[in-house]
Structures are given as structure tokens and as C-alpha cells.
């Protein structure tokens, strides 16, 4: 692609909506600031109603922000209508023009830009090759499978060479298998083209597989931003930890803080945890987050526990154990040949310091 990808900047963006039931105004998006690097793939992740789609639609121009300014590259674009913005969106429902065939759908944006016919032809064919739809240009869109329709939608957005590509949950209408292969495709094409992409989803595995950076939103505000690894291993809050993957939370008291570690206490048992980036002091009540795959049920370990559920799931053994009042889920991967604990058995929770995260 000839064009140079542009970054996107959101400067203290808010959007206010009216609750249709109560008639009260509320913030659908509140004070969101983002700086998206040119050429990077960023995902807005969150539960429904968290403001992610509204944010995306503000970038596209379908909604107008109530506070703040949006920049595309260096240009403030608040006042531009969607058709004047250098963005292209891939919709959840694909939104292909049903009265056009594949070729005309992809060529639509180029025709609007009055690109010469020959050039339209070559550019459309090139893009169709990229999304592996060559030979299908004469098909009507309703003769295509869901995955193929999605490729047309992607091709249509790519062909106009926008500065930014916007995705609004594009894979949620596909079945699970197709979803996985399509997300690999999207990532491949984005990297091949080198375009900036902003992707909205509520599917955390999609977000992790695709993104350079993930922005987790909740109730209109940004809950955390970071690389997939950062948000997974170092979640900023219980909400983030819970939303991205499965998480166990242990309520602990901080006992000792020194240069290379922290010691906490739970049910009278002390154990070491990883030192967090945030400041921590002895005597505080905190939470330790443990991922189910980061712990094991064992004959020895840090915390005594009692097995309340033991269930073979194929690739792993699923345990629920009780530690004091807390219920902890444990995923014991590839359990073949190891001892299986039965319901009612007393055992220990065993984990490495590196698998703990103090919040």
C-alpha cells in the first residue's frame, strides 16, 4: 500500500447518552484518552455497554463526542462527517450492499473517489487476491458463506487505502472454528499492509491473539491498557483479571515488604508473593490473584485446602478447592499419570512466586 499509516489520538473524549427509561443523562464514554501508534493493532475490549463500540463509532464519525477532540495523525477530525474521514470500518453484520456483486461491493468506495476504471479493476483484483477471494468477483453477496462475506467486507475497507481500519466485532457472527482462522487472517493482512487497526470485541481470546495493545473498558472508562501479557499477568483490578481469563482472588494481609519480595498472610499461613509495581506497605489488606493454570493441587504447598469438585475435562483436570472461605479453581493441565484428588480429600495449593500477583 502506498499510503503511510496514521496514528489515532483521543484527547479526553466523553460521550453522554440519555437513558431511555429514566430520561437521565449518563456517560457512555467518560474521559477516554488514547494514543495509538501508526501501524499498530489495538483492541478495545470489554463487556457489552462498556462504551467500546461508542468509542469506535466516534472515531468513524457516526457519533459526535460531547467532550474532547479526536485526532487522525495531526488533524483534528471532530467536525468531519464519516464520508470525509480517512477511516474504513468493517461492521459486525458485514453490511455488504446486497444489490451488488462482490466486485462492485469492493469497487464502491473507489468509484465514489472517481478512480479511473482500469485502476479500479486492478486494485480490486489485487485486494481480492489478498483476501483469497479471487474468482468470486461476479458472485452476489448472498451466495457467499459468512467467512467469505467477512473477507469482502475487509477487502472493501482495505481497497480505499484508509489511514485507519476500524473493526466492530467483525467475527461475532461466525462459528467458533471460522472465528479462529479469520482472526489469524486479519492479523496477517494487517501486518502485510502495515495499516493502523482499531478492533472492538468482547472476546478476550480474540483480543489477545490479535493485538499489539489491549484497552480494557468498563462502564465508559478505561480499566487498563497494555500488551496482552501485561493485562493478563498484571491486571490492574479484579474486574480486568476476571474479564481477561479466569482468576482466583485470595484476601490477604501484607506482613512484610522488603527489596525483593512481599510476604502475605492468609488464614494464619504466611507465604511469599511477587512484588507489585504499585506501592505496598505492611499491615494492608490486599488481594492476591492466581490464574487457575498457575496453581496445582498437591501433597505439599503454601496453603492447605479441601477438594470440593474434581472433574476430568480431557486436556485438563478441573478442581474446585476450598481455602478457608475462598473457593479456588485449579486447572491441572495434561494430568495423565499424575495423582487425581477426589472430592473431600485434604491437600495443599502449590504455586510459584512468579504466578502470584498482588493487587
Partner 1 sequence: MARSQSAALDRKKLLADPVMVTTIVVLITFLTLFILYPLAILLVDSFYGEGGFTLDIFKRVLEMKTFRTAITNTLKVGFLVGILSAALGLLFAYVEVYVRVGRGVGGLFKVVSMLPVVSPPFVLSLSMIMLFGKAGLITRFLLGIYDNSVYGFWGIVVVQTLTFFPVCYMMLKGLLKNVDPSLEEAARDMGAGRMKVFTSVTLPLLLPGLGNAFLVTFIESIADFANPMIIGGSYDTLATTIYLQITGAYDKEGAAAMAIVLLTITLLMFAVQKYYLEKKTAATLTGKASRARMLIEDRSVTIPLTVLCSLAAIFVIMMYICVPIGALFPTWGYKFTPLTFKWFKQVFTRYKGFKAFKDSFVLSLISAPITALLSMIISYLVVKRKFRSKGFIEAVSMLAMAVPGTVLGVGYIRGFSGGLFRTGLLQGIYGSAAILIIVFVVRSLPTGTRSGISALRQIDKSIEESAYDMGADSFKVFMTVTLPLIKDSFLSGLVTAFVRSITAISAIILLVTPQFLLITVQINEFAEKGAYSVACAFATILILITYGAVLLMNLFIRFFGTSRKIREDS
Q: Residue 350 burial (CB < 10 Å; 0-12/13-18/19+)? A: middle
Kind and range of the H or E run holding 192 = helix 176-193
Q: Name the minimum Å distance from CB 105 to partner 1.
A: 9
Of residues 288, 213, 283, the one with CA closest to residue 247: 288
CA–CA separation, 161 vs 131, rounded Å? Answer: 15
Of residues 92, 122, 95, the one with CA closest to residue 107: 122
SS3 at position 330: strand
Task: Indicate the pairing of strand 67-72 with strand 41-45.
Answer: unpaired
The answer to whether 90 and 106 have CB atoms below 8 angstroms apart is no
Largest CA distance in the chain: 77
Q: Quick one: 158 or 328, whose CB is closer to partner 1?
A: 158
Of residues 90, 220, 248, the one with CA closest to residue 156: 90
The footprint of partner 1 on residues 104-133 (CB under 8 A) is: 108-109, 112-113
Q: Name the minimum Å distance from CB 5 to partner 1.
A: 18
| By CB under 8 A, residue 25 contacts partner 1 | yes
Q: Which residue in 62, 119, 256, 339 binds partner 1 (CB under 8 A)?
A: 62
For the chain, how many helices (H) and strands (E)?
Answer: 8, 20
Q: Which residue in 87, 190, 218, 356 binds partner 1 (CB under 8 A)?
A: 87
Q: Which residue in 66, 185, 242, 345 binds partner 1 (CB under 8 A)?
A: 66
| By CB under 8 A, residue 350 contacts partner 1 | no
| By CB under 8 A, residue 64 contacts partner 1 | yes
**Size of site (CB under 8 A) for partner 1:** 41
| By CB under 8 A, residue 83 contacts partner 1 | yes
Q: Which residue in 78, 122, 145, 191 binds partner 1 (CB under 8 A)?
A: 78
**Of the ranges 93-101, 120-128, 231-239, 321-329, which one interacts with partner 1 (CB under 8 A)?**
93-101
**What cell was used for 110?**
473507489
Q: Quick one: 219 or 251, whose CB is closer to partner 1?
A: 219
CA–CA separation, 133 vs 58, rounded Å? Answer: 31
| By CB under 8 A, residue 89 contacts partner 1 | yes
CA–CA separation, 235 vs 254, rounded Å? Answer: 19
Q: Name the minimum Å distance from CB 79 to partner 1.
A: 5
Of residues 334, 343, 327, the one with CA closest to residue 290: 327
SS3 at position 186: helix
The footprint of partner 1 on residues 142-181 (CB under 8 A) is: 142, 153, 156, 160
Q: Quick one: 1 or 327, whose CB is closer to partner 1?
A: 1
Bridge partners of 157, per DSSP, are none
**Of the ranges 74-82, 169-177, 189-197, 217-225, which one interacts with partner 1 (CB under 8 A)?**
74-82
Through-space distance between the first and last CA atoms of the chain, rounded to whole angstroms: 44
Q: Which residue in 33, 75, 93, 229 binds partner 1 (CB under 8 A)?
A: 93
**What cell was used for 43?**
483492541
| By CB under 8 A, residue 98 contacts partner 1 | yes
Q: Name the minimum Å distance from CB 239 to partner 1.
A: 24
Q: Which residue in 71, 91, 239, 316 binds partner 1 (CB under 8 A)?
A: 91
The answer to whether 10 and 68 have CB atoms below 8 angstroms apart is yes
Q: Which residue in 7, 46, 51, 65 binds partner 1 (CB under 8 A)?
A: 65
| By CB under 8 A, residue 47 contacts partner 1 | no
Q: Name the minimum Å distance from CB 66 to partner 1.
A: 5
Q: Which residue in 88, 120, 198, 273 binds partner 1 (CB under 8 A)?
A: 88
Q: Provide the binding-site residues for partner 1, judged by CB under 8 A.
A: 15-16, 18, 25, 27, 60-67, 78-84, 87-89, 91-93, 95-99, 108-109, 112-113, 140-142, 153, 156, 160
Amino acid at each position: 500500500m502506498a499510503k503511510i499509516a496514521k496514528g489515532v489520538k483521543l484527547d479526553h473524549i466523553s460521550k453522554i447518552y440519555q437513558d431511555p427509561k429514566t430520561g437521565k443523562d449518563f456517560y457512555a464514554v467518560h474521559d477516554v484518552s488514547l494514543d495509538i501508534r501508526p501501524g499498530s493493532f489495538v483492541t478495545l475490549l470489554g463487556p457489552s455497554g462498556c462504551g467500546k463500540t461508542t468509542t469506535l463509532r466516534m472515531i468513524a464519525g457516526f457519533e459526535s463526542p460531547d467532550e474532547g477532540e479526536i485526532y487522525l495523525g495531526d488533524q483534528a477530525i471532530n467536525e468531519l462527517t464519516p464520508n470525509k474521514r480517512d477511516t474504513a470500518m468493517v461492521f459486525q453484520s458485514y453490511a455488504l450492499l446486497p444489490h451488488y456483486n462482490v466486485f462492485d461491493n469492493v469497487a464502491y468506495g473507489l468509484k465514489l473517489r472517481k478512480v479511473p476504471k482500469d485502476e479500479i479493476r486492478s486494485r480490486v483484483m489485487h485486494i481480492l487476491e489478498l483476501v483469497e477471494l479471487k474468482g468470486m468477483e461476479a458472485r452476489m453477496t448472498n451466495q457467499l458463506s459468512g467467512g467469505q462475506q467477512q473477507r469482502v467486507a475487509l477487502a472493501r475497507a482495505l481497497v480505499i487505502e484508509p489511514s485507519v481500519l476500524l473493526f466492530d466485532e467483525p467475527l461475532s457472527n461466525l462459528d467458533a472454528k471460522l472465528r479462529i482462522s479469520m482472526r489469524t487472517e486479519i492479523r496477517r493482512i494487517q501486518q502485510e499492509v502495515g495499516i493502523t487497526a482499531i478492533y472492538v470485541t468482547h472476546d478476550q481470546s480474540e483480543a489477545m491473539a490479535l493485538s499489539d495493545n489491549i484497552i480494557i473498558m468498563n462502564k465508559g472508562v478505561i480499566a487498563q491498557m497494555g500488551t496482552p501479557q501485561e493485562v493478563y499477568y498484571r491486571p490492574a483490578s479484579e474486574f480486568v483479571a476476571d474479564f481477561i481469563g479466569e482468576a482466583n482472588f485470595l484476601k490477604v494481609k501484607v506482613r512484610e515488604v522488603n527489596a525483593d519480595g512481599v510476604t502475605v498472610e492468609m488464614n494464619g499461613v504466611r507465604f511469599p508473593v511477587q512484588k507489585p509495581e504499585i506501592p505496598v506497605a505492611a499491615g494492608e489488606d490486599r488481594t492476591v490473584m492466581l490464574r487457575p493454570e498457575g496453581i496445582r493441587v498437591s501433597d505439599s504447598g503454601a496453603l492447605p485446602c479441601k477438594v470440593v469438585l474434581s472433574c476430568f475435562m480431557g486436556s485438563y483436570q478441573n478442581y474446585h478447592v476450598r481455602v478457608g472461605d475462598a473457593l479456588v479453581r485449579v486447572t491441572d493441565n495434561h494430568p495423565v499419570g499424575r495423582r487425581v484428588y477426589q472430592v473431600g480429600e485434604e491437600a495443599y495449593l502449590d504455586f510459584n512466586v512468579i504466578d502470584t500477583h498482588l493487587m
